[in-house]
Amino acid sequence: MAAVLQVTSIVISIAMIVLILLQVKGGALGSLLGGDAGGGIARTRRGLEKTLFRITIFLSIAFLGIALFSVSISG
Q: What is the pLDDT of residues 2-50, one digit of tens each?
A: 899 999 999 999 999 999 998 876 544 455 555 555 555 666 778 888 8
Within-domain flag for 31:
no
Assess whether pLDDT exceeds 80 at residue 53: yes
Structural domain range at position 8:
2-23+44-74
Q: Count the domains in the chain.
A: 1
Distance CA 16, CA 75 (A): 27
pLDDT of 49? 86
Within-domain flag for 56:
yes
Within-domain flag for 14:
yes
